[in-house]
Amino acid sequence: MVWWVIARAAFRKNLAYVLAHMANNAGSLLFGLIYMALWHVASREETLGPFHGRELVSYIAASQALLWISTFLPSGLGIDLQVRSGSVALEMARPVPYVPRMVAAGIGEAFYNLVFRSGPLIVAFTVMGVFPWGHVRSEEALGGDIAAVLLALWMGVLMQYLVGIAAFWTMESRWALRLFLGLNMFMSGQLLPLQLMPPRLQESLNWLPFQALVSLPASVWLGVATQDAWISAGIWAVGLYVIAVLITHRATRRLEVQGG
């Protein structure tokens, strides 16, 4: 199947950089340690929202691992580079639809990150005894855990697609990436769980797509996810794909080749 071949190629392309990525993982680990230390001191082993004792530290450990499959994907899936070099014309002329092809490649990149970026972090946090394994109590719970991770990965890839496609209008999409990262930092619950935000804000953020990137899977792993969060993520998982297809349709009509 062509999508599988594309995803596998994207996965394999990254294998040449495993060592460099491992050095990069040390930075992620430091970030994790910083935020875990912060929450360890801040929560003072008390109950905050639905989190008890050290669960907030586990939340941060889960969040750090999840960021690599939902947020730290290649900027705009490389679409802005295709626009600038003019190669996007060739890419769009290929006999495979553009949106699913780029999304398949993005999924391949995300699975690489899952194994070689999130993986080492999960191992380190497990050794430190802070990764939330204790909440995987049954096969049903494991199913939910995996589904939430796959949703985060799918939505992360689609959001990067939307970041990249912005280049059709502005030639480059660094601004869109900054906007995405800024909103994501606040709305995904990566540093501050949404459950600890003021109730009205929390309710609003639950219905935005960002919560599916970190908050939903981390909360599912800790057994504190709400049904609303699942429903919202399900709607956005379909909605974002439809938006991507519609925007791409408009974008192709204003395609300008830059000439390389």
Partner 1 sequence: MGILSGLRLYTAMARTTLQSRAIYRANFGLSLVFNSIMVTAELIVTLLLVHRVHGILGWNTAQVMLLFGMATTSGGTYRTFLSELSYFDKYLVNGEFDAVLTRPVPAWLAVAGRSVDPDQIGLVIEGMAIVAVSGTILGIFRLDAWLVIGELLAAVVSGTLIWMAMVTALAALGFWTTRVDTLQPMVLYGPQTAATFPLSVYPTDIRMLFYSIFPVAFGTYLPAMVILRKGPGAVMVLVSLFAAAAALALALRFWRFAVRHYTSTGT
Q: How far is the CB of 117 from partner 1 (least distance, A)?
A: 11
For partner 1, which is the closer residue by CB, 5 or 15? 15
Measured distance CA(151)–CA(156) in Å, rounded? 8
Q: How far is the CB of 48 from partner 1 (least distance, A)?
A: 7
For partner 1, which is the closer residue by CB, 144 or 206? 206
Q: Which tokens in the block code for residue 66?
A: 């999840």
For partner 1, which is the closer residue by CB, 38 or 243? 38
Q: How far is the CB of 138 from partner 1 (least distance, A)?
A: 32
For partner 1, which is the closer residue by CB, 150 or 185? 185
Asked if 218 contacts 225 with a C-beta cutoff of 8 angstroms, the reply is: no
For partner 1, which is the closer residue by CB, 191 or 237? 191
b/e code 172-194 from CB counts within 10 Å (16+ = b): ebeebbeebeeebeebbbbebbb
For partner 1, which is the closer residue by CB, 28 or 104? 28
For partner 1, which is the closer residue by CB, 82 or 195? 195
DSSP collapsed to 3 states, 117-184: HHHHHHHHHHHCCCCCHHHCCCHHHHHHHHHHHHHHHHHHHHHHHHHHHCHHHHCCCHHHHHHHHHHH
Measured distance CA(162)–CA(155) in Å, rounded? 11
Q: How far is the CB of 121 from partner 1 (least distance, A)?
A: 12
Q: How far is the CB of 92 from partner 1 (least distance, A)?
A: 26
Q: How far is the CB of 193 from partner 1 (least distance, A)?
A: 10
Residue 76 identity (one-letter amino acid): G
Q: How far is the CB of 176 from partner 1 (least distance, A)?
A: 9
b/e code 104-136 from CB counts within 10 Å (16+ = b): bbbbbbbbbbbebbbebbbebbeeeebbbeeee
Residues of this chain that interact with partner 1 (CB under 8 A) are 20-21, 23-24, 26-28, 30-31, 33-34, 37-38, 41-44, 48, 172, 174-175, 178-179, 181-183, 185-186, 191-192, 196-197
Q: Which helix (DSSP H) or strand (DSSP E) does residue 51 occupy?
A: strand 51-52
CA-CA-CA-CA dihedral for 175, 112, 161, 256, to nearest 10: 90
